[in-house]
């Protein structure tokens, strides 16, 4: 029997023998996990960043800015978040627009230093009357962002983890093929 499957009876009893179906089930499970991991990446933010990084800029006046804590209900309880909001005006080709979108992520953890620094910059501009730069969509000038930057770490982490899980799924499929060849 060992010559047909490549495993001795003792190895099969101890669970060392991977069957073809077991490898395929593992591959499907790992593939589903990889897809779920990749789905968590903020694809809309990534697409908006790639689009907005080439937008022209205009000078804007900050009319109002606030940074406040907000409790949101998520799985298993309340979660504190910082919410940054602003109102600003800018002019494109003689037409005045009012914007409210600060960045791709206007919400962050209470310890988010980037969000706090952006609030400080906007509040200083509001208090001193100094203009700030906003990027606007030339096809739709009413769409504007103060900060079009993207935090790449979560994107890179999600892509890396998803890729690693897909590789593990591929290795499982390879093990299934090898197991199938041994059984023949």
Q: What digits encode the pLDDT tens for the residues 106-141?
A: 777 788 888 899 999 999 999 999 999 999 999 999
Q: Is 46 exposed, middle or buried (0-12, 13-18, 19+ CB in 10 A)?
A: middle
Q: Model confidence over 77-112: pLDDT tens digits?
A: 777 888 999 999 999 999 999 999 888 777 777 888
- Do 8 and 70 lie in one domain? The reply is no
- Do 23 and 96 lie in one domain? The reply is no
Instruction: State the pLDDT at residue 153.
Output: 64
- Do 113 and 32 lie in one domain? The reply is no
Instruction: State the pLDDT at residue 1.
Output: 42
- Do 101 and 133 lie in one domain? The reply is yes
Q: Is the pLDDT of residue 74 over 50?
A: yes
- CA–CA dist 82, 174 (Å, integer): 47
Instruction: State the pLDDT at residue 141.
Output: 95
Q: By residue range, what is the domain housing residue 15?
A: 2-41+157-183
Instruction: State the pLDDT at residue 34.
Output: 66
Nearest to 70 by CA among 49, 50, 55, 85: 85
- Do 34 and 85 lie in one domain? The reply is no
- Do 112 and 89 lie in one domain? The reply is yes
Residue 51 lies in a domain: no
Average pLDDT over residues 163-169: 72
Nearest to 29 by CA among 154, 177, 173, 184: 173
* Residue 103: DSSP 8-state: B
């Amino acid at each position: 029997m060992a010559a047909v499957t490549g495993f001795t009876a003792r190895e099969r009893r101890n669970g060392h023998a991977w069957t073809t179906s077991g490898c395929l089930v593992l591959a499907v499970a790992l593939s589903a996990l990889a897809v779920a991991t990749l789905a968590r990446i903020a694809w809309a933010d990534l697409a908006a960043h790639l689009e907005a990084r080439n937008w022209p800029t205009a000078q804007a006046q900050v009319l109002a800015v606030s940074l406040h804590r907000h409790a949101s209900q998520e799985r298993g309880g309340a979660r504190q978040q910082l919410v940054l909001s602003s109102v600003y005006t800018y002019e494109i080709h003689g037409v005045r627009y009012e914007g409210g979108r600060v960045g791709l992520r206007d919400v962050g953890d209470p310890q988010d230093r980037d969000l706090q620094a952006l609030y400080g910059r906007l509040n200083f501009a509001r208090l001193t009357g100094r203009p700030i730069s906003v990027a606007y969509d030339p096809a739709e000038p009413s769409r504007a962002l103060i900060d079009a930057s993207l935090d790449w770490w979560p994107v890179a982490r999600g892509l890396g983890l998803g890729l690693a899980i897909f590789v593990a799924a591929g290795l499982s499929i390879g093990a299934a093929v090898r197991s199938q060849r041994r059984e023949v």
